[in-house]
Amino acid sequence: MKIKCVVLAMAVMAGYVMPAMADQVKPAWGGETEELFQTFIVDEGLRELGYDVAELSQVGVQLAHTAVANGDLTFYAAHWVPLHDAYWKESGGDDKLVRVGTLIKNCLQGYLIDKKTADATGIKYLEDLKDPEKAKLFDIDGNGKADLYGCDPGWGCERVIEHQLDAYGLRGTVEHKQGGYFAIIPDAIERIKAGKATLYYTYTPLWVSSILRPGKEVVWLNVKNTSLPDGQTGNTDVAGLGNLGFPVNDQKIIVNTTWLKANPKAKKFFELVQIPVEDVNAENTQVANGEKSNEQIMKHATYWIAAHRADWDKWIAEAKAAK
């Protein structure tokens, strides 16, 4: 399966709206393998409704919102609420792109440290790292500051992390280690396996927490009070885990407003389709275990649809009847 990326990204950034075939659906993809499963499931539903679904266009998370708003692309199936609220607003809000349905519920984010260090030091809160002696336990590069394995620029989570480093007075003791998340997180995993003090950010659904298991190898850090950027709101308290500092998110499908108004069948399908977060976690673990080609992930999506055939057929039937 081919994936378009460079030409479209250049067109969007230049403000040029590429002409679309009226009967073709053009899915956006943020570029992460772990996001393909849900996108392929949505693609397949649209095909069963009779749409011509084009190849995925890789544009990155933030640019995906712009591309959908402009009509360059039709939809993006990994819009986190409230994490991506700013991208949605900056791209024009409901006038340009509508958030539809709830594809995946109860997605978590936050900071974790290795359980060995947590048990030995009593570190429980992110704010505990204002103490230079505690922070330097997580120093990797020798400058005395804790190194936080963090979030990719443009994902949205980096805006929360950067805001909280200021809000909690951590700039003097903690550094946000950025790069490709999936390039740097294996280093964090290996450090913890080796018994070294490690501080990192992660989210679910994702395979990381099937390797670094909260309560086993690692523990979630809490924050003493919630402080969020961009006017974000939402519940940051998670039963059994405490205040993780990030709101519990739902993933929705964002769709070009003009296109959605003209396509009631697709709208109804977007409203109905749901994937349990546990299923996405399980599929992401398959990806981590090596089943990560587009063809293999498409098979994961096909198997999921077959396992949920009764619900799936009901969603498709209701969508076909929509007017």
Going from N- to C-terminal start, the domains of the chain cover 6-106+249-321, 116-243
d(CA 157, CA 108): 11
What is the per-residue pLDDT for 3?
A: 53
Is 6-106+249-321's fold the same as 116-243's? yes
CATH topology of domain 6-106+249-321: D-Maltodextrin-Binding Protein; domain 2 (3.40.190)
What is the per-residue pLDDT for 23?
A: 62
For residues 77 and 27, the answer to whether their CB atoms sit within 8 Å is yes
CA distances 297 to 148, 202, 316, Å, are: 31, 22, 22
Unique residue bearing structure tokens 């922070």: 135
The model carries a pTM of 0.90
Task: Report how far Cα 21 is from the mean position of its chain's Cα atoms.
Answer: 29
Question: Which stretches in the chain have pLDDT values below 50?
Answer: 2, 5-22
What is the per-residue pLDDT for 13?
A: 43
- CATH among 3.90.1150.10, 1.10.287.1040, 3.20.20.70, 3.40.190.100 for 116-243: 3.40.190.100
For residues 68 and 61, the answer to whether their CB atoms sit within 8 Å is no
What digits encode the pLDDT tens for the residues 17-58? 433 334 689 999 999 999 999 999 999 999 999 999 999 999
